[in-house]
């Protein structure tokens, strides 16, 4: 299929609000699974595709690319689209002689955190402008599978669930988390998250979000639970929160990325500069506060190398469709913000190393090849040593299956050379059903709910595998010797590892220190042979701007930067220095989506309470 050019179709603010009002009226109760997505733009519009904001961009058809949809929901992520390899602080601008717009609170970003920050601020009486670089709301949360909550949610009471023990006690959860982080964290901030996570989700339910207990999006991990969640469900929650913000008067401005903060002579943040339609600079006055929620810097290699070097070395990919290029972080640095969580990150299951073969760093989570690579194949390091596999099948306690997704990433990204190697033979499709893997290892098939939100090309997982074969990311060779050579392994490493593996399969009993069940032991004996390099998948930068428990950004002088707040993942603090936490639950207490939601809720609450008290 030939490449096609899609022209961005602009929309006046009046037209946009008219469409948003129609949507709000039709979803006054709540968004439900399967409802049409609440697009802030017309069908066929593309979001912030190009770095220069040009009106025309070239988009590879989804059958040849990484899942691009015409409405901008899933975007091709490549070096040309996101060339953000700049780690320099963004200096603030002085107060202008004239403002183009004015409000009480400006929220940067309309993802899960920004939607909550804007809605909460507006609900409490603030006049809010929320700016977003993309052409629609939702950010990375729109494609997330779930948020987690370890206790404090009212709906969990029916199952008498709380972690680490019931009834829920945020102090016990804080003590457990501090031990998990090896005490390299801020206990006051963790306590605030633990204490407010449940009330935040209860508040979202009051706003119209339908939490379906036991189905997800809320992960409760009771005994004998089933967690058959799907990566696309969380978009329902972002749609509902967007609708709630509209009903409370939030002024959303899309295609309007933040450029710089505005700081007055006394050091207070009093507004920001944004690029309206990516071109015209506008100055927006914030009478009381600016809230930064537009994410971390997972797709900015310069920032990764400077602030999270282990992730820069060990991670092989990122699946953050909303960019995560770090402008909010750099704006904070520009006004003297301190940094917390240095060299701290969270990785999620295995990531295929497309870059090693000339591909892109960021990939759509459900691309078929990703799921294939996460099955219990023979996995070795560059010395030929076998690596442990973590089972994601849901057993007696669903929590164990979730933990496996993060722990496996750490296993795969920390061997010598920061890469692992998976190998299997031509009979691989015969084994997949028997592996029975769940969650983000589950193969995407046409019968999954909300499949219409997946670009058509990827609705059959085999299409993504064919893309990987075509790019030679998944290497298909007639002999093990050829595969060994082309994976970059020393002669004898792979062939000897396979010989040992085949002997194990012949015996029918695994003698490895972390044995696989007998039904997973399949000899690698039928050519052609397949293999690829894998590492961690970076899904969260735990380094970020230093904040206090009230979400206020702290300066390097140890004092609050007045008027500036930050939510996850712009802020750090939950992890301390050099924290190599992989788990989506253990790594952030609530899962990254839940942490974003909670962070935005706390930002909105604190900004109104601290900056607008008495009005």
How sure is the predictor about 449, in pLDDT bands with cuts at 50, 70 and 90? low
Confidence at residue 443, expressed as pLDDT on a 0 to 100 scale: 85
Contact 327, 258 (CB under 8 A): yes
Q: For 309-318, how does the pLDDT look when each residue is reduced to its tens digit (9 = 90+)?
A: 988 899 998 8
Confidence at residue 438, expressed as pLDDT on a 0 to 100 scale: 80
Confidence at residue 44, expressed as pLDDT on a 0 to 100 scale: 32
d(CA 272, CA 214): 42
Confidence at residue 577, expressed as pLDDT on a 0 to 100 scale: 83
Confidence at residue 466, expressed as pLDDT on a 0 to 100 scale: 93
Q: For 63-121, how does the pLDDT look when each residue is reduced to its tens digit (9 = 90+)?
A: 443 333 333 333 333 344 444 688 999 999 999 999 999 999 999 999 999 999 999 99
Confidence at residue 120, expressed as pLDDT on a 0 to 100 scale: 98
Do you find a cis peptide bond into 516, omega within 30 degrees of 0? Answer: no
Confidence at residue 204, expressed as pLDDT on a 0 to 100 scale: 93
Residue 22 has pLDDT above 50, yes or no: no
How sure is the predictor about 549, in pLDDT bands with cuts at 50, 70 and 90? very high
* Strand positions, DSSP E, 61-195: 101-108, 128-131, 147-148
Residue 230 has pLDDT above 60, yes or no: no
What average pLDDT does this structure show over 531-547? 91
Q: How many DSSP H helices and E strands does the chain contain?
A: 15, 20
Structural domains in the chain, CATH included, are: 370-537 (3.90.700.10)
How sure is the predictor about 237, in pLDDT bands with cuts at 50, 70 and 90? confident
Pair type for strands 258-263 and 269-276: antiparallel
Residue 479 has pLDDT above 90, yes or no: yes
Return the number of other C-beta atoms located less than 10 Å from residue 59's C-beta. Answer: 18
* Strand positions, DSSP E, 458-506: 475-477
Contact 24, 243 (CB under 8 A): yes
Least confident window among 127-136, 216-225, 553-562: 216-225
Residue 433 has pLDDT above 70, yes or no: yes
Confidence at residue 295, expressed as pLDDT on a 0 to 100 scale: 87
The model carries a pTM of 0.83
Contact 541, 345 (CB under 8 A): yes
Q: For 42-54, how does the pLDDT look when each residue is reduced to its tens digit (9 = 90+)?
A: 333 333 333 344 4
- CA angle, 93 then 96 then 98, to 5°: 150
Please state the φ and ψ torsions of residue 482, each to the nearest 5 degrees.
Answer: -65, -45
Higher pLDDT, 218 or 582: 582
Rounded to the nearest integer, the mean pLDDT of the chain is 80
DSSP 299: T
Contacts of 280 (CB under 8 A, 6+ apart): none
- DSSP per-residue letters across 100-125: SEEEEEEEE--BHHHHHHHHHHHHTT
């Amino acid at each position: 299929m030939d490449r096609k050019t899609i022209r961005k179709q602009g929309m006046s603010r009046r037209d946009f609000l008219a469409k948003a009002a129609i949507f709000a009226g039709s979803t006054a109760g709540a968004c439900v699974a399967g409802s049409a997505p609440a697009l802030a733009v017309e069908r066929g519009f593309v979001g912030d595709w190009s770095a220069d904001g040009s009106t025309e961009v070239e988009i590879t058809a989804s059958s040849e690319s990484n899942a691009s949809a015409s409405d901008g929901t899933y975007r091709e992520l490549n070096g040309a689209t996101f060339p953000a390899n700049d780690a320099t602080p963004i200096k603030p601008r002085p107060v202008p002689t004239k403002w183009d717009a004015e409000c009480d609170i400006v929220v940067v970003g309309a993802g899960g955190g920004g939607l909550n920050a804007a809605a909460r601020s507006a609900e409490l009486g603030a006049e809010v402008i929320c700016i977003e670089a993309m052409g629609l709301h939702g950010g990375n949360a729109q494609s997330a599978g779930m948020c987690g909550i370890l206790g404090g949610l009212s709906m969990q009471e029916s199952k008498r669930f709380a972690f680490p023990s019931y009834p829920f006690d945020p102090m016990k959860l804080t003590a457990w988390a501090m031990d998990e982080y090896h005490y390299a964290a801020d206990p006051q901030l963790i306590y605030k998250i633990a204490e407010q996570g449940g009330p935040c989700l209860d508040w979202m339910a009051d706003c119209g979000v339908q939490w379906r207990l036991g189905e997800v999006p809320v992960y409760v991990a009771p005994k004998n639970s089933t967690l058959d969640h799907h990566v696309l469900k969380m978009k329902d929650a972002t749609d509902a929160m967007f609708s709630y913000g509209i009903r409370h008067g939030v002024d959303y401005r899309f295609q309007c990325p933040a450029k710089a903060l505005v700081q007055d002579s006394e050091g207070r943040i009093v507004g920001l500069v944004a690029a309206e339609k990516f071109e015209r600079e506008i100055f927006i006055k914030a009478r009381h506060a600016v809230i930064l929620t537009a994410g971390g810097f997972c797709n900015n290699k310069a920032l990764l190398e400077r602030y999270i070097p282990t992730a820069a070395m060990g991670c092989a990919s990122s699946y953050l469709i909303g960019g995560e290029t770090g402008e909010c972080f750099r704006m904070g640095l520009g006004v003297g913000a301190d940094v917390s969580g240095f060299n701290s990150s969270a990785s999620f299951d295995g990531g295929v190393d497309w870059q090693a073969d000339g591909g892109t760093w960021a990939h759509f989570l459900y691309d078929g090849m990703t799921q294939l690579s996460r099955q219990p194949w023979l996995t070795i390091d560059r010395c030929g040593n076998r690596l442990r596999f973590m089972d994601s099948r849901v057993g007696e306690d669903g929590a164990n299956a979730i933990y496996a997704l993060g722990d496996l990433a750490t296993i795969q990204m920390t061997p010598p050379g920061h890469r692992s190697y998976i190998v299997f033979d031509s009979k691989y499709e015969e084994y997949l059903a028997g592996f029975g893997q769940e969650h983000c290892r589950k193969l995407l098939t046409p019968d999954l709910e909300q499949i219409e939100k997946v670009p058509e090309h990827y609705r059959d997982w085999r299409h993504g595998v064919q893309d990987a074969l075509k790019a030679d990311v998944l290497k298909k060779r007639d002999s093990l010797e050829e595969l060994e050579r082309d994976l970059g392994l020393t002669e004898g490493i792979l062939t000897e590892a396979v010989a040992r593996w085949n002997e194990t399969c012949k015996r029918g009993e695994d003698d490895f220190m972390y044995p696989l069940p007998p039904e997973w032991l399949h000899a690698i004996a039928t050519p052609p042979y397949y293999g690829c390099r894998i590492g961690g998948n970076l899904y969260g930068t735990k380094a970020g701007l230093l904040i206090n428990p009230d979400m206020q950004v702290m300066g390097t002088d140890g004092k609050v930067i007045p008027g500036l707040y930050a939510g996850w993942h712009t802020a750090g603090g939950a992890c301390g220095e050099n924290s190599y936490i992989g788990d989506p639950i253990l790594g952030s207490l609530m899962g990254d989506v839940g942490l974003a939601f909670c962070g935005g809720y706390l930002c909105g609450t604190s900004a109104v309470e601290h900056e607008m008290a008495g009005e």
